[in-house]
Structure 1
Amino acid sequence: MLKIHHLGHSQSERIVWLCEELGVPYELEKYTRDAVTRLSPPELKALHPLGAAPLIEVDGVLLAESAAIVEFILARYGHGRLQYGLNHPEFASYLYWFHFANGNLQPVMGRSMIVGRCGLAPDDPVQTSVQVRLDKVLALIEERLTQNDYLAGSEFTAADIMSVFSLTTMRLFHPVDLKPYPSILAYLQRIGGRSAYQQAMAKGDPDLTPMLA
C-alpha cells in the first residue's frame, strides 16, 4: 500500500488530496512542525536528507518532491483521470498551470514571506520588486479564473491540486489579502465544496480550518 509521510500545514496536503480524489488507498504517517523553528521534526530528517515533506513509500521506493509525487501517482493510479492527454485541446494549458504552481506561484510567495520578515521599508526596492511580482502572478491567476472555472480549463485537474496550497495554507505563514481577486475567492469556494478536499484536510490537518476566503 502507498504510504504518505505528511508534514502538517505543508505542501504534502496535495498528496493526501490527490489520493482522496482518485480513491487510492493509502497509509498516512503524520508529523508536526517544530514549535519554535516551524521546520520538519528529526523523524522526517531521518528519512530524507532535506527533511522534505511530502514523501511517499511504495514497493520499496521512497520519493520526495510534491510535483514528482503527483506525476507518479497519476501515472500509476490515475488511468487518465485529473489530467489532459496530448490530444486534448487544453493539454498545453494543463502543463503550464501544473508547473506554474512550483515554478512561479509558490516561489514568489516564499520570496515575499522572506523579504517581509527582513523589516524593510515598504518603499525599499527589493520589497517593491517582490510585491510587484506577486501582484502580477495573482493577477494572472485571477484573469485565468475569470475565464475558466479551473486552471486548466472547464474541468478540475491536478493543476488545481498543485496550486491550491499556495492560495490557502501558505497564507498561514505569509498572509496575503485575496479580496482584490474575486475570481480566485470564488474558485477557492468551489474547491472547498469538493468532498475529497474536505476529507483530505480533515485527515491530514484536522486542526486547520482551510483558508478559503
Structure 2
Amino acid sequence: MDQILSLVQIAVLAVWLMLPAYFPNPIAAVFGGGKPIDNGKLFFDGRRILGDGKSYRGLLAGITSGLLVGLIQISLASREITILNIDLPSFGPDTVSAILVIFCLSAGSLLGDMVMSFFKRRMNLKRGAPLPLIDQLDFVFGAWILTYLVFPQWFIATFSFNIIIAILIISPILHVTINIIGYIIGVKKEPW
C-alpha cells in the first residue's frame, strides 16, 4: 500500500510541476488563429516554416494561460497546502524567480511544439499529421530545455529521476486524452 501511495505522490508532484507547461498548447489551440508566426513565409526547401497552426494569438494565449495557472500554484504553495501529505513545491526561491520559472515552462512548451512543427514540415507532414510519441512529448522537452537553460539549479533540484519518468508516462496519456476531448468538442480537426 505504501508503494502505491508513493507512486501516487510522485504522479501528483509530476503533474503539479508540469501544469504551467500542460495548459499552453490546448489553450493555444482553442484561442489561436489569426496571423501565423511564420507570416506565411517559406523555408529554403519551399515548405512553410511552421504553418498556419502556430499563430501569434495562440502563442500569447498559451503563455498567458500557463502564467495564470502558475500564479495560482504560487499562491497555493505559499499557503503551504498539501495534497496526499505532499508539500507542494514552489517554483523558485522568491516570487520573481518563480514567475520566471513558470514563464520558461509555459513558453518552452510552446517552443518545443513549434520546433517539432518545423521538423514535421521538413518531413513533408501536413498540419495535424500524427507523429506518435513525438507529438505527445515535444512540449515537455521544450519546457524542460528552456527551464534548464535559464534555471539549471532549480531544475536539477526539482526534477528528480522519478519525477521525470512519471512525466514521461503521464504526459502522453494526458495529451491524447485532451486531444480526443478537443476533437469531440470541435476545437481540433484530428483526435491526436
Q: Give the TM-score normalised by the residue count of structure 1.
A: 0.30
Greater strand proportion: 1
Q: Give the TM-score normalised by the residue count of structure 2.
A: 0.32
Greater helix proportion: 2
